[in-house]
């Protein structure tokens, strides 16, 4: 990952430069991945019965 791509991802998830003092590159990557997962419509969702059976 290049520096411009990293900074673009930070802007896309709303991080400021002061926020980057508290976060690692890995944390920013995970936040970006989770942001993409928030928009995904899962076709099958687990119910309580599924968790009980697990």
Residue range 38-48, pLDDT digits in tens: 888 888 889 99
Percentage with pLDDT > 90 across the chain: 72
Domain count for the chain, please give it.
Answer: 1
Domain that holds residue 25: 1-51
Farthest-apart Cα atoms in the chain, separation: 46
Helices (H), the chain: 3-12, 17-20, 25-38, 48-53
**Contact assessment for residue 32 and residue 9, using Cβ atoms and an 8 Å cutoff:** yes
Indicate if the pLDDT at residue 36 is higher than 90. Answer: no
Which pLDDT does position 50 carry in this prediction? 94
Q: How confident is the model at residue 12 (pLDDT cuts 50, 70, 90)?
A: very high
Q: How confident is the model at residue 37 (pLDDT cuts 50, 70, 90)?
A: confident
CA dihedral 30, 31, 36, 39 (to 10 degrees): 130
């Amino acid at each position: 990952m290049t520096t411009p791509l990293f900074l673009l991802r930070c802007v896309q998830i709303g991080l400021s430069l002061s926020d980057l003092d508290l976060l690692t590159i890995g944390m920013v990557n995970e936040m970006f991945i989770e942001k993409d997962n928030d928009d995904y419509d899962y076709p099958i969702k687990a119910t309580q019965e599924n968790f009980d059976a697990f």
